[in-house]
Amino acid sequence: MTEHPALTLLAELLAVPSPSGWEAELAKLVRGKLEGLGYAHETDAAGNVLVRLDGRHPDAPLSVFASHMDEIGFVVSSIEADGTLRVKKSGGLYPWKLGESPVEILGDNGRITGVLSFGSTHGGSLGDKPITWADGRILTGLSPEQLQAKGIRPGSTGVPCRELRGPFVFGDAADPLAAAWTFDDRAGVVTLLRLLARLKEEEIRPYHPTIIAFTISEELGGHGAKNLVRREQPEIFVAVDGAPIPPGTPLKLDGRPALWSKDRLAHYDLRLQQALRRAAEEAGTELQTAVYDGAASDASLLYYAGLAPRVACVGHVRENSHGYEVLRLSVLDNLLNTLAGFIQMSL
């Protein structure tokens, strides 16, 4: 692994499981990073972690920049007599994205390791057919009583084992690719932490009064962002997230960040898009534009619910979305530089 500061920080975040509803451990790590940077912070009732920044123009509308701390995973639906677990998805995770692999299940009293299994290919019934969560099970090697002692129950959640999560660097050493399970949205969290470090180091003040937010439960409908915006009532909400590449989407896996123009819930604010493009140009890069039929962000979830009048979503381009994701390492610096300029603009 390279010594790139984004990957060093990302490796720390990836080591902490954070499926939706279980973000508290990652939130604790984020708070520690904020304290190390010298920032006061708060945690609201929903579990969002917030940093408030004074703007150069205190009468300007409140802005929020947000990345979500939760990740996709699975949830235990039942426990069989031999200690095998049946599971369903939490967020947009499909079983073929994981395959048969070690997983970590988070219990109320501890964690266990198991292996996701789809049975034998020697006379098995699946063959080349598409698999669903109903076809799989998790082998635990423990009895129901032992699982109960760990607090493993219907409703317990799980994720891939941390040893498999990355990040890994490969390809052209001059401009390598990086891979991890998953960048969604640990890479956004890393970008906002690096943005706060940049603001501190260079004594940059935002134009607007600003909240930097690390939110919960985006993957299950934007619960954290909705609670935050109902209370704070910002005019501007910018989600810093990734940009998937579904078939037909003209995004390239290069160093240029991506700007969401439309998704299944919203057309994004035109003035914010223009300001972000201008900030990217001034930072020496450009933004690719994406239109999605089957995706949404914290920002569009808020807009659709009538909670935020002006929204934007910008972030890194990622291949293999909701799986073993891949990005171009240089996109992280270009995204950071774009946001460092954008936060100083009148919006």
| Predicted TM-score (pTM) of this structure | 0.96
Q: Are residues 40 and 188 in the same domain?
A: yes
Q: Are residues 203 and 268 in the same domain?
A: yes
Domain assignment present for residue 47? The answer is yes
Q: Are residues 257 and 113 in the same domain?
A: no
Which residues of the chain, if any, have pLDDT below 50? Answer: none
Q: Are residues 231 and 285 in the same domain?
A: yes
> Within a 10 A sphere around the Cβ of 112, how many other Cβ atoms?
22
The pLDDT, as a whole number, for residue 2 is 63
Q: What is the domain extent for residue 61?
A: 5-71+182-342
Q: Are residues 213 and 263 in the same domain?
A: yes
CATH number at residue 219: 3.40.630.10
Query: In this structure, are residues 213 and 207 in contact, taking their beta carbons and an 8 Å threshold?
Result: no
Q: Are residues 196 and 312 in the same domain?
A: yes
Q: 28-76: per-residue pLDDT in tens?
A: 999 999 999 999 999 999 999 999 999 999 999 999 999 999 999 999 9
CATH number at residue 141: 2.40.30.40
The pLDDT, as a whole number, for residue 7 is 94
Domain assignment present for residue 177? The answer is no
- Split into its structural domains, the chain has a count of 2
Residues 6+ apart with CB under 8 A from 298: 66, 68, 215, 218, 222, 224, 225, 237, 239, 241, 313
The pLDDT, as a whole number, for residue 122 is 73
DSSP 251-317: --SSS--EEEEE-SS-BPPHHHHHHHHHHHHHTT---EEEE-SS---HHHHHHHTTS-SEEEEEE-E
Query: In this structure, are residues 152 and 79 in contact, taking their beta carbons and an 8 Å threshold?
Result: yes
Residue 236, Cβ density class (10 Å: 0-12 exposed, 13-18 middle, ≥19 buried): buried
Q: Are residues 189 and 282 in the same domain?
A: yes
For residue 220, what are the CA distances in angstroms to 158, 215, 223, 293? 15, 12, 7, 18
Q: Are residues 316 and 201 in the same domain?
A: yes
